[in-house]
C-alpha cells in the first residue's frame, strides 16, 4: 500500500482559492519581506471604497435582458470520473520532476492574477494560491497527470488500516525549513493540531475538515499516525489541499499559534524576495530545496491583476507568461493563436453566491431567505456575467462532482427554472408570511471590482426589487470581504466560495453544519446536521447520492445561501511554459509553479 495514489475527485484554491471563504485577501505587509518567523506589522485593511462605486451600483437595475448565449468554446468539460492511479514522473530518488523534458533551467516565470492576501496564515484565510510557493504538504495532487492522483511530498509513503480509521505516514528525511530548522514529525503534529484546536484569538478556517480526526501522534521523528473517530473518504484529499501546508513547530510556538503577521519559513521550492502590497510578489529559487531536481526556474514574479480581462491581456502581450483564469474574450483571442498561446477550460469547485446572514433579523427567518433565493434568475445572471467567466446551473455542489444533478434537471426545479412567474409569486407570499409589509430594505455587500459591483450586484438588485426588496449596494476591497464575513457585518454578501474537494461533503462540513468553522451566518438545522453526518461515512454510492440530494433539498428550503452558479475557469499560458500540464487538467487547482520551466 505504499504511496497509495488515489483517484482525484477533488479540487482548490482558490480561494480556492483557499477554503477560508474563498475570498482573495489583500496583502498589506511592508514592501520588504518580514524576517521569517519574526512578528511583522499587522496587515492593514485597504480603505473601503465609497458606498456608491459607480452609478450602476447605486440605482436599482432591471434584471438583464437575455442576450446571445456564451460561445460554444466556453462549454465546460465533462465532469471528471475516477481514474486508475498513474505513476508520477520521478528521478531515481523517487521525487517529482516535470513530465515533459528534458527541462531547461533558468528564467523568471511571470504570472498575472489576484495576488492580494488579508494576512499570511494559510489556516486563517491567507491566499494559498500565492503563499503555497513557500510550503509543502504531506501529500499533493499530481501535476503530471492533470491532478488525477495523489502522490507523496513531505511524506514518502503511507498506509491505511483495513477499517479506514488509521493512516500512517512515513516522512521524508533530510528536509529543512528556509531558516535551517530540520523537518520532523513534530512539525506535522503541531501544524494539524493547530488546525483542529486553534489558539484563542484566532480562527481555523479548516477546522471542520479535522473533526473526524481523533488523534495525531508521532511515534518517532519520521512517522505520523492519524487516528480517525470514524472512517471518512476524504482525509487524503483534505491533506493534499494547498491550504493544509506544513509549518514548523518552531514558527508556531514562537508566534503563539498565530501566523497572520509573519511570513513563516516553509520547506518549499521558493522563498519570498520582495512583496509590495496590492502590486506584486517576487519569489526566488530555494537553492537548498530537498528535491534537487526542482525548481527549474530561478524565480516567480506574480503581478496583481484583479480583472480577468487584464490577466488575459497580460498573457497575450507577453507581459505575463501564465494566468489561472482570464476573461472569455481574451481567452478566445488566445485560442486563435495556438502557436504562441495555449488555453484550456475546466470546471472549478468555486461558485458565486449570496451569503444570507441567518444571525440577523429578518434573515433569521428561513422563509425570507428562501424568498431571496426564489427571486434570482440564474439564467439572466449568467448572461450578465458572460463577458467574465462562464457559470453552470447547479445547486450546492460543483458540476465537477459525480453527485451533482445534470443542469437540465436542475433547470426544472423552483428557483432554478427559467420561467420565474411562479417563483416570484411564491417569494411575495413568503415575505408576507414572514411579517414583511411594504418594502424590505437590506444592504448588499460586495467587492469593489467592476464585475461584481457593476455587473452582478446591480443585476441582483433589480431582481429583488421585483418582489419588494430594496437593496443598497456597499463595496469593500475584495480581500476584506472575508474579514466582514468573520465579523458578521452584512445582510447579504455577494461573494465567491471554494470547496476544498469535488466531493461536496467537505464544503458542507465547513459551511452548513451547526457551529462549523466557516458557517459565518450562524445557520443551524439539526436535521441537516444528521444528514451531513450520514453522507460523511456512507460507502454505498447509490445510497450516498440519495443522501446528497436530500441535503440539497433542505438547503433549497432553508436557503442559508442563494446560489448563483459554479464557475468554469479559463487558464491561458504562453506556449513556451512547460511542466504544468495545464492541457491535461479537468478541474481547477491554483497551485505551485515548482515543476514549471521555460522553453525559450
Report the pLDDT value the prediction gives residue 337, as an integer from 0 to 100: 97
Report the pLDDT value the prediction gives residue 148, as an integer from 0 to 100: 87
Provide the Cα torsion 206, 200, 211, 42; round to 10°. Answer: 10
Task: Copy the grid coordinates of residue 353.
Answer: 453566491
Q: Are strands 299-304 and 108-113 parallel, antiparallel or unpaired?
A: parallel
Which DSSP string do the residues of 172-216 spell out, in sequence order?
PSS-B-TTSPBP-HHHHHHHHHHHHSPPTT---TTGGGGTTEEEE
Q: Describe the chain by its helix, strand, coil percentages, rounded to 5.
A: 25, 20, 50
In terms of Cα–Cα distance, which of 315, 363, 361 is closest to 341?
Answer: 315
Under 8 Å between Cβ of 285 and 269: yes
Under 8 Å between Cβ of 578 and 100: yes
In terms of Cα–Cα distance, which of 465, 472, 460 is closest to 431?
Answer: 465
Under 8 Å between Cβ of 530 and 385: no
Cβ count near 389 (within 10 Å):
23
Task: Copy the grid coordinates of residue 14.
Answer: 482558490
In terms of Cα–Cα distance, which of 124, 14, 117, 66 is closest to 566?
Answer: 14
Q: H/E element holding 131? A: helix 128-131
In terms of Cα–Cα distance, which of 260, 251, 273 is closest to 31?
Answer: 273
Report the pLDDT value the prediction gives residue 400, as an integer from 0 to 100: 86
In terms of Cα–Cα distance, which of 246, 245, 243, 216 is closest to 229?
Answer: 216
Give Cα 266 to chain centroid, integer Å: 21
Report the pLDDT value the prediction gives residue 119, as an integer from 0 to 100: 92
Report the pLDDT value the prediction gives residue 4, as an integer from 0 to 100: 40
Cβ count near 170 (within 10 Å):
17
Domains in the chain, start-ordered, CATH in brackets? Answer: 55-67+350-566 (3.10.105.10), 135-254 (3.90.76.10)
Residues of the chain with pLDDT under 50: 1-93
Alpha helices in 74-184 (DSSP H): 128-131
Q: Are strands 150-152 and 155-160 parallel, antiparallel or unpaired?
A: unpaired
* Crossing angle (nearest 10°) for helices 366-375 and 421-433: 160
Give the residue carrying C-alpha cell 451531513: 532
The sign one gets for the Cα dihedral 358, 378, 548, 82 is negative
Please tell me the distance from the alpha carbon of residue 288 to that of residue 269, in angstroms, as a whole number.
Answer: 8
Report the pLDDT value the prediction gives residue 451, as an integer from 0 to 100: 87
Please tell me the distance from the alpha carbon of residue 219 to that of residue 597, in angstroms, as a whole number.
Answer: 39
Amino acid at each position: 500500500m505504499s504511496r497509495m495514489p488515489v483517484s482525484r475527485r477533488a479540487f482548490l484554491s482558490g480561494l480556492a482559492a483557499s477554503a477560508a471563504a474563498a475570498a482573495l485577501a489583500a496583502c498589506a505587509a511592508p514592501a520588504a519581506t518580514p524576517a521569517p518567523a519574526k512578528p511583522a506589522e499587522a496587515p492593514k485593511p485597504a480603505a473601503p471604497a465609497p458606498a456608491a462605486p459607480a452609478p450602476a451600483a447605486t440605482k436599482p437595475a432591471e434584471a438583464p435582458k437575455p442576450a446571445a448565449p456564451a460561445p460554444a468554446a466556453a462549454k465546460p468539460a465533462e465532469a471528471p470520473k475516477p481514474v486508475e492511479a498513474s505513476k508520477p514522473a520521478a528521478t531515481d530518488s523517487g521525487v517529482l520532476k516535470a513530465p515533459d523534458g528534458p527541462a531547461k533551467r533558468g528564467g523568471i516565470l511571470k504570472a498575472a492574477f489576484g495576488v492580494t492576501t488579508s494576512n499570511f496564515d494559510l489556516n486563517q484565510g491567507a491566499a494559498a494560491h500565492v503563499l503555497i510557493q513557500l510550503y509543502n504538504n504531506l501529500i499533493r495532487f499530481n501535476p503530471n497527470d492533470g491532478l488525477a492522483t495523489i502522490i507523496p511530498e513531505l511524506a514518502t509513503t503511507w498506509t491505511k488500516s483495513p477499517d479506514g480509521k488509521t493512516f500512517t505516514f512515513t516522512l521524508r528525511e533530510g528536509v529543512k525549513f528556509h531558516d535551517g530548522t530540520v523537518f520532523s514529525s513534530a512539525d506535522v503534529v503541531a501544524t494539524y493540531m493547530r488546525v483542529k484546536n486553534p489558539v484563542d484569538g484566532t480562527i481555523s478556517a479548516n477546522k471542520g475538515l479535522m473533526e473526524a480526526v481523533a488523534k495525531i501522534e508521532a511515534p518517532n521523528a519520521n512517522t505520523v499516525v492519524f487516528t480517525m473517530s470514524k472512517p471518512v473518504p476524504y482525509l487524503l484529499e483534505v491533506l493534499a489541499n494547498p491550504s493544509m501546508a506544513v509549518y514548523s513547530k518552531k514558527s508556531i510556538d514562537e508566534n503563539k499559534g498565530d501566523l497572520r503577521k509573519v511570513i513563516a519559513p516553509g520547506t518549499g521550492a521558493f522563498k519570498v524576495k520582495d512583496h509590495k502590497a496590492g502590486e506584486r510578489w517576487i519569489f526566488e529559487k530555494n537553492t537548498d530545496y530537498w528535491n534537487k531536481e526542482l525548481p527549474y526556474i530561478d524565480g516567480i514574479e506574480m503581478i496583481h491583476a484583479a480583472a480577468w480581462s487584464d490577466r488575459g491581456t497580460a498573457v497575450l502581450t507577453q507581459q505575463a507568461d501564465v494566468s489561472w483564469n482570464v476573461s472569455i474574450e481574451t481567452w478566445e483571442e488566445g485560442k486563435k493563436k495556438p502557436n504562441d498561446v495555449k488555453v484550456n477550460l475546466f470546471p472549478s469547485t468555486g461558485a458565486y453566491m449570496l451569503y444570507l446572514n441567518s444571525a440577523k433579523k429578518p434573515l433569521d427567518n428561513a422563509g425570507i431567505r428562501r424568498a431571496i433565493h426564489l427571486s434570482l434568475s440564474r439564467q439572466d445572471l449568467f448572461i450578465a456575467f458572460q463577458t467574465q467567466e462562464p457559470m453552470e446551473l447547479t445547486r450546492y455542489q460543483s458540476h465537477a462532482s459525480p453527485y451533482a444533478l445534470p443542469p437540465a434537471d436542475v433547470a426544472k426545479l423552483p428557483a432554478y427554472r427559467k420561467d420565474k412567474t411562479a417563483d416570484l409569486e411564491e417569494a411575495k407570499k413568503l415575505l408576507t408570511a414572514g411579517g414583511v409589509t411594504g418594502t424590505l430594505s437590506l444592504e448588499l455587500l460586495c467587492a469593489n471590482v467592476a464585475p461584481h459591483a457593476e455587473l452582478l450586484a446591480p443585476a441582483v438588485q433589480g431582481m429583488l426589487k421585483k418582489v419588494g426588496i430594496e437593496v443598497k449596494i456597499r463595496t469593500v476591497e475584495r480581500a476584506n470581504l472575508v474579514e466582514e464575513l468573520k465579523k458578521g457585518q452584512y445582510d447579504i454578501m455577494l461573494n465567491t466560495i471554494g470547496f476544498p474537494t469535488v466531493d461536496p461533503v467537505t464544503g458542507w462540513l465547513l459551511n452548513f453544519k451547526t457551529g462549523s468553522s466557516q458557517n459565518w451566518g450562524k445557520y443551524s438545522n439539526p436535521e441537516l446536521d444528521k444528514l451531513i453526518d450520514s453522507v460523511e461515512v456512507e460507502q454505498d454510492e447509490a445510497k450516498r447520492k440519495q443522501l446528497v440530494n436530500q441535503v440539497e433539498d433542505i438547503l433549497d428550503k432553508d436557503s442559508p445561501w442563494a446560489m448563483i452558479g459554479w464557475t468554469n475557469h479559463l487558464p491561458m499560458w504562453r506556449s513556451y511554459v512547460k511542466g504544468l500540464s495545464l492541457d491535461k487538467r479537468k478541474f481547477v487547482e491554483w497551485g505551485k509553479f515548482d515543476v514549471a520551466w521555460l522553453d525559450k
